Structure 1
Amino acid sequence: MVSSKDVAKRAGVSQSTVSRVLNEPKNVSRSNLEKVTAAMKELNYRPNSIARSLVSKKTKTIALISGPLHNPFFVETTTSIVNYANEKGYKTIVFFENYGDNMSVYETVLSQQVDGIILSSIFMDDPIFKDLTSMNLPFMMFNRKHQDGGSFVEIDNVKAGALAADHLLNLGHRRIGFIGGPLYTSTFFGRCSGFTEEINKRLHEIDDSLIRETDTSEEAVREATLLMMGRKNKPTAVFAATDAIAIFVIDALMELGYSIPEDISICGMDNVRMARHHSFELTTIGQHTENNLGRLGIEHLINRIEEGSNSGEPVQITLDPVLYQRKTTKKFAD
């Protein structure tokens, strides 16, 4: 088996220079970097990742704890995170949220040897936050955040909920439903709070029967939609707190024989790629930047890892929401 010693001999450099090329290439001259890289290719050298991690105390591995894949938002953010990490030379171990109980997932992640953690699975009062902050390990939250702070990248969910309510109210709707996910997460809590506050401000009352909390699965969203539409005073519009929920709502409504937006307007949230699908062209709320929250989060996490320190001020980024008006909302005609 070819060793780093063989590479050093072929390149005409010291073995410590080869080690720096593998672990700290920024600290190597361009000439030596080219010599060592050429020698590794000629000898078909494959560095031993375990040995490298023992020397550098780095594994070049990141743990991602993502939300459920039935939501295209998490498909897109997972893809962005894995691709960007790969570009930067990091492997990503991916784990997925366990509905309402993430402790087993956290235990598995914390048993791994990784250089950092990026997660969207955290709850507002999640006890794992204390464990994460007590470790000398960089971690970044995206989409969701903990009530005690930490480093995060999010959209302003309260403003987003208010923006959705404002859009539907301005179209003349007065009975507007809300279908979201668990209110112990910052995303759904913020979106519901902003929505209900705006409705109360403009109409001075809100019908609690039109506020539905689900686990975001297709079955639960369908049941919430059926219950809402089974009432005597049905809503004429619905704010679905994610685009995935909006798509499930549209499917359930069409199954009942409703036309969108002729019979009922639907506004989603996240502006995932599927929202632009020509078969429905979903009105939704997202952010101005093209990079999704996962991409922004992994950029900041890798910066912190490569700075070699988990100290200093946390990264806290809250993006303003923007409305993307498409074809699933229209003026209400009484």
Structure 2
Amino acid sequence: MSRGGAGARPGHLPVLYAQVMDGLAVKAEGTYLDGTFGRGGHARGVLSKLGPGGRLLLMDKDPEAIAVAEREFGTDPRVSIRRGSFADLAHWDAVSGGLDGVLLDLGVSSPQLDVAERGFSFGKDGPLDMRMDPDSGESAAQWLARASEKEIADVLFTYGEERMSRRIARAIVARRGEQPLTRTAQLAELIASVMPRGDSKIHPATRSFQGIRIFINRELADLEAGLDAAYAWLKPGGRLAVISFHSLEDRIVKQFIARHAKAPPTHRRMPVVQPFTPTLRAIGDAQKADSTELAMNPRARSAVLRVAEKLAEAA
């Protein structure tokens, strides 16, 4: 959840920076796509390794991120910039020649978390928005005002893994009957008021905010579509690097790589084994931030990086 934010400041690097650079193994004349520009920390690293014939394609849903990309990279002839979700990368003509690497750094960027007006953080009171693209779709407040109690509970349980989802949903529906929920602090305080007191170090609203944010932004559906598109346009030998920030994302990435890298399990009642040719190989194990990085950037504690390479057999 610290996507690109730290990289925007001199002397700081974005999450898992060295591991991402190693994983992408940037070729000087290659074509690379950063599907989650954020504030450009990883993008700067890739660009520093590209020669005059290399290409860097930058995407982000967030208009503020795109404004930074245009300001800092817009005059570089090696760089192309597009506002939109990485789920739609296949529709960008710039990828038609194939890609030597794709980076997806999931979750919320530090600038989005740190600006109260974006409505992502329960730690800063602001409008209850949560949209990564503020010009598209419903805000969290609009959805909470119309969704049924069951819909709210399902989202909190499925995407936030919140065990008290029904209790929280019931409280939200009761409160909105008295007054609209329009502020992050309102929602955070309401959730805290109905949660049992425990010794957990995380705020009682953490899982609920995560669940609502993932739902509002279609994060898991976009991830699945983006992985398929990246796989389709990667050249043989091209690398896919994905940073996840919670178990739901990481499970999708892990299973995606495994599906293309390992033969499915066989069953006794199916004597005819279908031939399987791997088209991806995992590069090492899942990687996490070390103690040095965590000391500088506590938000990196939940980051998990997985890297895979497309095999020549897939050509």
Relative to the length of structure 1, the TM-score reads 0.28
Relative to the length of structure 2, the TM-score reads 0.29
Rg larger in 1 or in 2?
1
